[in-house]
């Protein structure tokens, strides 16, 4: 989708910046509809932060890099 494509460079930059503290992964919700339903993904892109295999927060929509960093910082990731 267009929002996912526009968010891709921000996602890649964040993955480089925050690895190994945060593992970034993408899910193709069309190819993995049951997994998307399991996690309640209703809009894309949806970012879900897991800690110790449990969801701790989520945000929907393509975030600019500063907002993504701020969101991660609010979760204790810097």
Looking at 1, 35, 37, 56, which residue is catalytic? Answer: 1
Looking at 4, 22, 36, 44, which residue is catalytic? Answer: 4
Residue 68 in contact with residue 14, Cβ under 8 Å?
yes
| Residue 9 φ then ψ, to 5° | -65, -35
Six token digits for residue 65: 């890099």
Contacts made by residues 74-77, CB under 8 angstroms, sequence distance 24+: 75/49, 77/18, 77/21, 77/22
Active site residue 72: no
Active site residue 1: yes
- Residues that are catalytic: 1, 4
């Amino acid at each position: 989708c267009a929002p996912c494509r526009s968010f891709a460079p921000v996602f890649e930059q964040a993955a480089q910046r925050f690895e190994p503290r945060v593992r970034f992964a993408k899910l193709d919700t069309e190819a993995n509809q049951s997994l998307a339903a399991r996690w309640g993904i209703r809009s894309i892109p949806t970012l879900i932060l897991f800690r110790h295999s449990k969801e701790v927060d989520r945000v929907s929509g393509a975030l600019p890099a500063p907002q993504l960093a701020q969101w991660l910082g609010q979760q204790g990731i810097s």
